[in-house]
Amino acid sequence: MTNADYAAVIGLEVHCQLGTRTKLFCGCRNTFGEPPNTHVCPVCSGQPGALPVLNEAAVRLAVRAALAVEGTIRATSDFDRKNYFYCDLPKGYQITQFDAPYCQGGGVRLASGRTVRLRRIHLEEDAGKAIHDRGDATLVDLNRAGVPLIEAVTEADLQTADEAHEFLTALKEMLRFAGVSDCDMEKGSLRCDVNVSLHRPGEPWGTKVELKNLNSFRFVRDSLEHEIARQSGLLERGAGHEIRQETRLWDADRAETRVMRSKEDADDYRYFPEPDLPALVIPATLIEAERAALPELPAAKRARYTETLGLSAYDADLLSSDPVVAHLFEAALETAASPKSLANLIANEVVPALAEPAVRARAEHGHPVAPADLARVTREVESGAIHANGGRRVLELLVRGDERDVDRILQEEHLLLVTDEAALERWCRQALVGREDVAREVRAGKTKAIGALMGAVMKASHGQAAPERVRALLQRMIDESEA
């Protein structure tokens, strides 16, 4: 509800690049960040007479996406041509699915329990990239032309900017866990258009405005909040301030939307059936194979982490929002100590480090740190052999690619705590000399007083005495000296 009078109605169109090795209709590599126009062939550059051949791997990933959102997969669907002219589209048309998308229905559950229904998901090819920021020139890079995409269209079930943000986060997590895409908005693997209108509850929906080019979830939220306020301002002013059906662009620097095109020049794409491709037939055996291979999705993980492992909702969320993190956690858990200690170390050292490109890049080829090492450090911290800060220090080094093994790091960084009973006793006895005053306080129940003695032991041991052992030892020695 934007104010007392109006409610927002929001629907999203989400494009997601499929993480295949090659493009949708040719053998060119599906890559990002390579020199421009180095992954181009007659098919994806639109040479006359070149024929598309469907990439089965793209169909498999598309099916996986449909299964993740519990959509209904059509056994037979069609490809269509969407015709328009733009410099990043050399063929003059995009191959997509119009009347008969491969998937219909399905949805994504929000935390509130409400489900955002999906209207459809279709399979299509991406266009190339037009680069406008080189002075007067517009440059074209066709590496992206023909990269496989799915487009998921929601029903207009969303009501607030926050809900749109939550939906996108949930969808992105599902697609990443399902292995459909890396969903990296910075690389453009995930892109979103937003449709929004206002109405008085109980009355028909209002005229919608479409917001395009939203390349971060924050922009989705900001632009929606802005657009809802803009529309309610117009509605309140009344006659003469109608909302026009138009497409607007979000200008993040100015924090405002502005018109890109209005309904009058709405596109007519002249869709027609793609004559160069047969119908898309998805055999039941393929669907069943993908269903069997579908990994556990974030919602199920979250439930298992809280219910079976006893983790807090906060920890469960953190561990199940990134496949790299979840897989590391689960692999380490097989050999490690308590899930809670493991979750703490991952939250403090691994999750923040994954924001660093170098750490993230290493994680793409496996775990950011060997699960056995992570498990070992967790156990050492739990047993008191290393201090919690020491554990964090080892992980900080390992995650950033330190070549040394855990033992060497512990030794060379002086992180191993002294747990040897005789050595600890010696330090404790020294600390107690002449401190009968403290001992009396402790006996009188002021357990905090023991801190002064601990400080002395830490000083004598250069910080390497295991603190919990020292505390217990001091307590025992004081109790025993009572007689």
C-beta of residue 227 within 8 angstroms of C-beta of residue 257: yes
User: Minimum Å distance from CB 188 to Zn ion?
Assistant: 18
User: Minimum Å distance from CB 231 to ligand ADP?
Assistant: 10
Look at residue 41 and give the partner it binds from Zn ion, ligand ADP, none, a contact being a CB closer than 5 to 8 Å depending on partner kind: Zn ion
User: Minimum Å distance from CB 357 to ligand ADP?
Assistant: 33
As a whole number of angstroms, the distance between CA 479 and CA 33 comes to 68
Of residues 212 and 443, the one with the C-beta less far from ligand ADP: 212
Report which secondary-structure segment, H or E, holds 406.
Answer: helix 406-412
Nearest to 377 by CA among 350, 358, 352, 354: 350
Of residues 167 and 177, the one with the C-beta less far from ligand ADP: 167
User: Minimum Å distance from CB 11 to ligand ADP?
Assistant: 2
Helical axes 298-307 vs 161-177, angle rounded to 10°: 90
User: Minimum Å distance from CB 23 to Zn ion?
Assistant: 5
As a whole number of angstroms, the distance between CA 347 and CA 331 comes to 16
Look at residue 28 and give the partner it binds from Zn ion, ligand ADP, none, a contact being a CB closer than 5 to 8 Å depending on partner kind: Zn ion
As a whole number of angstroms, the distance between CA 185 and CA 106 comes to 23
Look at residue 44 and give the partner it binds from Zn ion, ligand ADP, none, a contact being a CB closer than 5 to 8 Å depending on partner kind: Zn ion
Of residues 13 and 382, the one with the C-beta less far from ligand ADP: 13
Of residues 12 and 397, the one with the C-beta less far from ligand ADP: 12
Q: Which residues contact 168 (CB under 8 A, 6 or more apart)?
A: 12, 14, 192, 217, 220
Of residues 162 and 356, the one with the C-beta less far from ligand ADP: 162
Look at residue 311 and give the partner it binds from ligand ADP, Zn ion, none, a contact being a CB closer than 5 to 8 Å depending on partner kind: none
Binding site for Zn ion (CB under 5 A): 26, 28, 41, 43-44
User: Minimum Å distance from CB 79 to Zn ion?
Assistant: 17
C-beta of residue 99 within 8 angstroms of C-beta of residue 78: yes
Coil vs helix vs strand at 14: strand
Distances 54 to 125, 172, 181, 391 between C-alpha atoms, Å: 11, 25, 18, 50
> Which residue of this chain has its Cβ atom nearest to ligand ADP in the complex?
11
Other C-beta atoms closer than 10 Å to the C-beta of 483 total 4
DSSP-assigned beta bridge partners for residue 14: 152, 192
Look at residue 156 and give the partner it binds from Zn ion, ligand ADP, none, a contact being a CB closer than 5 to 8 Å depending on partner kind: ligand ADP
Look at residue 11 and give the partner it binds from ligand ADP, Zn ion, none, a contact being a CB closer than 5 to 8 Å depending on partner kind: ligand ADP
Q: Which residues contact 199 (CB under 8 A, 6 or more apart)?
A: 6, 7, 9, 205, 206
User: Minimum Å distance from CB 34 to Zn ion?
Assistant: 13
User: Minimum Å distance from CB 219 to ligand ADP?
Assistant: 18
Look at residue 196 and give the partner it binds from Zn ion, ligand ADP, none, a contact being a CB closer than 5 to 8 Å depending on partner kind: ligand ADP
**φ and ψ at 214, to 5 degrees?**
-100, 105
* Cα 332-337-340 angle, rounded to 5 deg: 90
Of residues 226 and 376, the one with the C-beta less far from ligand ADP: 226
Q: Which residues contact 61 (CB under 8 A, 6 or more apart)?
A: 18, 19, 20, 148, 150, 179, 180, 181
Of residues 12 and 453, the one with the C-beta less far from ligand ADP: 12
User: Minimum Å distance from CB 14 to ligand ADP?
Assistant: 9
Binding site for ligand ADP (CB under 6 A): 9-13, 153-156, 195-197, 205, 208
Of residues 224 and 450, the one with the C-beta less far from ligand ADP: 224
Of residues 11 and 101, the one with the C-beta less far from ligand ADP: 11
Look at residue 86 and give the partner it binds from Zn ion, ligand ADP, none, a contact being a CB closer than 5 to 8 Å depending on partner kind: none
C-beta of residue 90 within 8 angstroms of C-beta of residue 49: no
